Amino acid sequence: YITICKPLHYATVMNRRACLQMAAMAWSAALLNSALHTGNTFRLPFCHSNIVNQFFCEIPQLLRISFSELFTSEIQIIISSACLGLVCIVFTFVSYIQIFTTVLRLPSEQGRHKAVSTCLPHLFVVALLASTALIAYMKPTSGSPSALDLVVSVLYSMIPP
């Protein structure tokens, strides 16, 4: 946003303090989210098979092999993930609305093309991450994983990074 909408102010706005604050907020949100999920996972009883038919161990797959009532756990996961995801998506969406309104006001065609070509790959990756994570975490758990589960997990965990 700052790079495109306020390029002359970039050095003053994006100083070391601002970068540290943004990194601290991202790490704090991730730490809180993972602590909630880890605490929830530790309270689940596991007495069935410990084989997870997935590339890595995630919350929906752990819920499948747990020996407990899953409704409460699933609701907690949905609420915490939805809140965190909603905040991220709203910030991204608002930023991109401001970016695209600024880009449309640029006088030169070359400037508009350069700004759009900078933003579109990032927007594509954010949309890919959000849509596949939404599919993975919001679909009901089933007894056996499908090929779709495997493809979706690769799309949101390997492609965006």
Predicted confidence (pLDDT) at residue 143 exceeds the cutoff of 60: no
Fill in the DSSP letter of residue 148.
H
Token digits of residue 86: 């909603």
**Is residue 35 over pLDDT 90?**
no
More confident residue, 149 or 31: 31
The counts of H helices and E strands in the chain are 7, 0
The residues, ordered by sequence, that sit 6+ positions from 123 with a Cβ below 8 Å of its Cβ are 96
Place of tokens 């819920």: 63
The pTM is what?
0.65
Domain-wise residue ranges, the chain: 2-157
Split at pLDDT 50, 70, 90, the class of 17 is very high
Can you tell me the mean pLDDT for 139-155? 71
- Per residue in 52-74, pLDDT (tens digit) is 777 777 776 777 777 666 667 67
What single-letter amino acid sits at 140?
A: P
Concatenated DSSP letters for 35-62? Answer: HHHHHHHHTS---S-----SSS--HHHH
Confidence of residue 21 (pLDDT cuts 50, 70, 90): very high
